[in-house]
Structure 1
Amino acid sequence: MQFIDLKAQYHALQMEIDANIRAVLDSAQFIGGPYVKELENKLADFVGRKHCITCANGTDALQIAFMLNGVGRGDAVFCPDMTFISSTEPAKMFGATSVFCDITPDTYCLCPESLERQIQMVIAEGSLTPKAVVAVDILGNPCDYDAIGALCEKYGLFLIEDAAQSFGASYHGKKACAFGHIATTSFFPAKPLGCYGDGGAVFTDDDRMADLIRSFCVHGKGPGGKYDNVRVGMNSRLDTIQAAVLLPKLKALGDYEIDQRQTVVGRYNDAFVGKLQTPFVADGCVSAWAQYAVLAKDSEARDKVIAHLKEKNIPSMVYYPTPQHALPVFRNEPHYGESFQNADDYCARTFSLPMHPYLEEAEQQEVIDAVLEVLEW
């Protein structure tokens, strides 16, 4: 059994993927070209934004977002305490300070109340300038954008939607990547929409920002092209073969994969309700279910389940074992008295089970039976 079965997905889409790859090889056009343009147009249409610019990976997409906002030394970037380091890593490279906020105890996303407390503490302390908020759609579950967007407007903050795990999700009828001044996503192979290597994209409705993003992606190019360098940029482009792979995957995601993920989660939830803390999705929202994460009673119970699953040759993972404030690289960042109680609790008890749209019902039952076995000891 695979934790995320990319082979099963490939077999389902093999004819389309192979044909596209052969076409790229025949054309010998490996950078740019019609597949990249077609993918960008279809991604923008899928999420309902005016512009999509692809890039080399999801971290580059976030770096570009920080570059657009001019994030640098003396700036505060607000982010949930439970995420992957890439959510604020590029900002720290530019000299900014990561200010972490607690998560909600149910969706595990950025807590608006904690965010506002941290914003107010930064303003009161006075040494940093509140600059940007990174709202992370963790595990595929969208954030509360009504509340977070209102706070960003109230305090004049640049809102970045980190949708690395949520492509295909929706919030009150709008797709993930449709929120914030800028939205970013990742096409890392294990993501809901993944390529066969690294890839990412940036989304915006702002024409000026879109022009800047395209410039940043190609060494700060100007109107005259890549040898007309008008600013310092980077080398961050999606390979043509990856675009060719993503096109049939995007269609499958919209046609049936998101629905099949809901079916798997429904069976898991029915089996585990009352025995584990099962994931919560707010009314009006649809999760992309990048992961199916549950909470055990405590760390000891979590470790027993993981050990039993290993004995049964059933894979599991922990997303994420350490909150950001406890990572060595961030231990000197200011906490402003925030306790991160929910993030600490989540990281101590969480584990994730096999989750993908090609997980057969018999495999789902095998996972369910193994988990229930150890819970009944």
Structure 2
Amino acid sequence: MDEALLRDLTPGVLAVLVRRGADFAAAEDAVQDALVEALRVWPADPPRDSKGWLVTVAWRKFLDATRADTARRRREDLVDDEPAPGPAPAADDTLQLYFLCAHPSLTPSSAVALTLRAVGGLTTRQIARAYLVPEQTMAQRISRAKRTVSGVRFDQPGDVATVLRVLYLVFNEGYSGDVDLAAEAIRLTRQLAARIDHPEVAGLLALMLLHHARRAARTLPDGSLVPLAEQDRSRWDTKLIAEGVGILQAALARDRLGEFQAQAAVAALHADAPTAEETDWVQIVEWYDELVRLTDSPVVRLNRAVAVGEADGPRAGLAALATLDDSLPRHTAVAAHLHERDGDLTKAARLYAEAARKAPNTAERDHLTRQAARLNTHGRL
């Protein structure tokens, strides 16, 4: 049974039902029922037209549910107008489904959950495990999201930037449980890139590939973090790097720069350096200047301060850091790093320990704690 095929077909099938007039929540339930039926039937009797089979079964599931719901008698005209079984329509509404799941009326967490369920084809249980929350909590989140978008017209133009931000949020969750969210985000972004010719879609795909290429070197077997400068670059995936750089170069050639292309350019410069010492920090600062111009994001300015510290020395980096709000996430960790490079080991150790107490996860906390301990040990020698 090819579960990957089912996941690829899911958004197109859901889009057909919504296009025919089913409200989003009911259509999504019907598609999930059809997927369960496919898992039961296909191993012994695989269909010749997989998508057409799913559309037919999902539509019938939707009609059955509608007929059984006396509160929805107003849909009788729709119920009596069942399309004849046959090949699935060639039109692809998957792109509109992306826009619907990333609707501005949804919170980011709800948009992510709905995208993984409706476009990614993941079960509620899989999504809950990936986000380390109870299945009931995730089910409620998805149900609220479906109700929110059920009244949205399916032919309204969507916002590409919102879709990309949702996919980026999925990617940044990494992986946990039985679902690799980073790989899932890449799969969905590839799918989106095949449907829309947009340089920022390409930029996001390139960014994901370049970051994902370093994944094997990012942690030790015991789960502890390995900073970029200390990673074993022989473990980086050169095929993913080459693909990401190629996609990025094609996007940049279109001269419609966006933030994901600029972020990917920074990642490409890191990937291009044979060693940490050979990193072109001057160019990286220039790309961060572009990102500041595009986004004016405090997080971008924080990352730029790190790059300035590498390109122009730690005191220049500290001067750039001094202009930022010290309540920013990772601000204390960056200050610790720059003070260590500037030779103030006592202050750096104190800041590492403080940053560890603020760390958002165990791996980062343990890494910062080790950094503080290393400097404190050095000071006692």
Q: Do the structures match in fold with TM over 0.5? A: no
Structure whose residues are more often helix by fraction: 2
Structure with higher strand content: 1
TM-score by length of 1: 0.24
Q: TM-score, normalised by structure 2?
A: 0.24
- Highest relative contact order (Cα 8 Å, sep 6+), 1 or 2? 1
